[in-house]
Structure 1
Amino acid sequence: MMDVEGCDNLPDSASVIFGHKVCHTRDAKWLCLNNFYEKVHRPNFYDIGGTYIEDVPDYWFMYKTEQVSSIFLLHIFVCNRQESLFSIAISRNTDNMKVDKKNDAIYLTQSLKEHRFKKSKEMSQNYLTTYSFSSYDLDLIKDKIFYIFISFDSPENRGMCQGFVEQVKLNHDLKALLSDPVGSDFTIESADGVKFQVHKVLLAAHSEVFKAMLKEETAESQNSYVKLVDVGKEDLQCILECIYTGTVTDLENCNCINMLMLADRYNLKSLRELSQYALSQQISVENALEILVVSDMYNSEMLKAVALKFIKKNKSCIQTSTFKEINNPELLRQLLEYIIPA
């Protein structure tokens, strides 16, 4: 957590969506959730407020609160008043909550995720995203106004600039440097002896762990070489692809449990998000308990909530051998409290 001092684009009245206050769609930047701490403890649907074009209602936002064991969930929805093509970017997760002590406020501002809706029917309720909170997160929010950053993108503007944006993204794709590492200044060797020629500046930019490793006084920096004795070739290839491109092409065939573990070890945020998403899509009766254990071990509340819900719907999961291998009493307590009706 950090103070909000120095943060740009803090809410002004014209940019805040709250209740029936008039906020023009073109100006909208913030969803305002008042008394959120109390409402998250009373699971239900709640209105946030709407946007307008002149005096005509345009979009309306709602949220639903839910509790899963010790995890608190916030689901955001948007209703479009007319059939339309539209796009909304919204804060991706709760990792970047900022505290404004002066104004008793909490902000979700960075790392936006875009959601596009193609010809959504009039008065459709569209799901946007879900946030998860621990009890500690909620204690920080208590007695504060909660703001979530959003950004509208009109189809007209998208049509004019999308080609240019895609070209810029293409020009900044560094994947070619993995196969032809021009200007490389560092060597990483996998546990099985495969060496990759890489660039210090990219490693340091994406990982605080690599950044510390590459300081001038370290042996790794002076030798321009490190061997990762517990990272195999395939896993290291995935790590480097994520660093150079922001994604992993063949994510479905990666060992995503290993990826989550390595993302945590090397503090790679993009790889962590990709791994969590992939595991949430790959969950099955055979691996649900393993995913639950891993999500608890690496503090992935979103993935933990997915695993708990799946296990509750598929109680045969606890008949697998993994159940007997869980040696965390607190996790077992949470699991049993969740799947056994009170």
Structure 2
Amino acid sequence: MYEPRVGEPAANKLNIADTRVVHGHRVCQTREVKWLCLENIYQKLHRPNFYDIGGTYMQDVADYWFTYKTEIVGDIFLLHLFICNHGVSSFSVAVSCGNKFKVSKKTDTVYLQQYLTEFQFKQLNELSHTYLTTYSFTELDIECLKDRKLYIAVSFPFASRPLSEEISLEVIDNVKLNHDCSALFTDPIGSDFVIESADGVKFQIHKVILAAHSEVFKAMLKGETAESQNSYVKLVDVGGDDLRYMLEYIYTGTVTDVENINFASLLMLADRYNLKGLWEVSEHALSEQITLDNVLDILIVADMYDSDFLKTEAMKFIRENKEVLNCSSFSEINSADLLKQLCTYLAT
């Protein structure tokens, strides 16, 4: 799995005019590309055919070109993505993996998740039309695409260096492994700060690691704050297990024991401490855990923390299982705006 630097521009501020967006014949430099923009995608999914996206350039010379083919199989809509190389015969390209997407209502755009799958090609003929991957959508999915543009994240990991200087994936994995701080979390040698949970569980941790991963913690530990002076803070509304999982993510970049984690609590902590990666992990995990019994609770959580992706996934589930609306927990939705959004979604 490859995750490019996609923080700027923010996905919910995307627009075709951005120079890092591939769209038609407008020049987008290969080393700067971040997104592919597919217009009128709702109509094109209903009209199976080959369609052009646009390409990237090295200076003013065409470098790579992207196309896609739409297909309908039963009640599933398929989008097959292709790439054509104008120059080098060996290259790597990474694109959005999976079919999960987020909807930005402010800009009427839909974008696939920003975790990428990398594909490597060796010794291709020039102008080879090469298959990359396929995305599949249900009828409910494509309703979200109506009158919206679809953005697919893309990156060329080694576009700035010649092929002879490329670093193998094995080397990259080894570097990541060597920079894993899990050992310091397990045995906090050199720790200089204590975080205590509401139920009295204390964790010996390192200020520099907290500050490196969270702007909120960085501000807390900076200057003359009480937390910085005392090298201690108690989180009066965070339980020991939730705090442990958050710190595990900060130290290792992942979480274990997934089956027992309360991801709604982790989504709250990710929002509070501005932990983007933990936010995305929690969103995805909650979307996979949706059931008849918890979908309304997850919908409320998604609305509370402004997660459009999770809210859409919950609404899609409710649309497919409308008996949920008869549950007693439906009355717990106190937000008139959320009720309006749900009714509008169910009516389309």
TM-score (norm 2): 0.66
Q: Identify the residue that residue 240 of structure 1 maps to in structure 2.
A: 247
Query: In the superposition, relative to structure 1, how do residues 282 and 126 fare at CA in structure 2: closer, same or farther (>3 Å)?
Result: same
Correspondence 1:88-127 to 2 at 5 A: 88-89=94-95, 113-116=115-118, 126-127=134-135
Q: Does 1:270 align with 2:274?
A: no
Q: Could you report, residue by residue, the CA deviation over 1:19-53 in whole angstroms, capped at 9, with x for unpaired residues?
A: 478999x878355648x6xx48x76456413579x
Alignment length (residue pairs): 289
What is the distance in 2 between the residues matched to 1:309 and 1:258? 23
- Equivalent AA in structure 1 for residue 268 of structure 2: M
Q: Does 1:151 align with 2:159?
A: no
Q: Secondary structure of the residue that 2:54 maps to in structure 1?
A: strand
Q: Identify the residue that residue 333 of structure 2 maps to in structure 1.
A: 326
Q: Could you report, residue by residue, the CA deviation over 1:115-142 in whole angstroms, capped at 9, with x for unpaired residues?
A: 14699x9757522999xx9xxxx9xx9x
Q: Identify the residue that residue 335 of structure 1 maps to in structure 2.
A: 342
Correspondence 1:223-262 to 2 at 5 A: 223-262=230-269
Q: Identify the residue that residue 218 of structure 1 maps to in structure 2.
A: 225
What is the distance in 2 between the residues matched to 1:212 and 1:159? 38
Correspondence 1:1-342 to 2 at 5 A: 17-19=22-24, 29=33, 31=35, 33=37, 39=40, 44-45=44-45, 47-49=52-54, 60-62=66-68, 78-79=81-82, 87-89=93-95, 113-116=115-118, 126-127=134-135, 150-151=155-156, 161-341=168-348
CA displacement at 1:202 relative to structure 2: 1.2
CA displacement at 1:195 relative to structure 2: 0.8
Q: Secondary structure of the residue that 2:168 maps to in structure 1?
A: helix
In structure 1, runs of 5+ residues without a counterpart are: 5-10, 65-74, 96-107
- Equivalent AA in structure 2 for residue 215 of structure 1: K
In structure 2, runs of 5+ residues without a counterpart are: 1-6, 11-16, 46-50, 71-77, 104-110, 122-128
Q: Does the CA contact (< 8 Å) of 1:62 and 1:77 recur in 2?
A: yes
Q: Secondary structure of the residue that 1:205 maps to in structure 2?
A: helix
TM-score (norm 1): 0.67
Query: In the superposition, relative to structure 1, how do residues 269 and 57 fare at CA in structure 2: closer, same or farther (>3 Å)?
Result: closer
CA displacement at 1:272 relative to structure 2: 0.7
Q: Secondary structure of the residue that 1:295 maps to in structure 2?
A: helix
Q: Identify the residue that residue 70 of structure 1 maps to in structure 2.
A: none
Task: Report the RMSD for the aligned CA atoms in angstroms.
Answer: 4.7
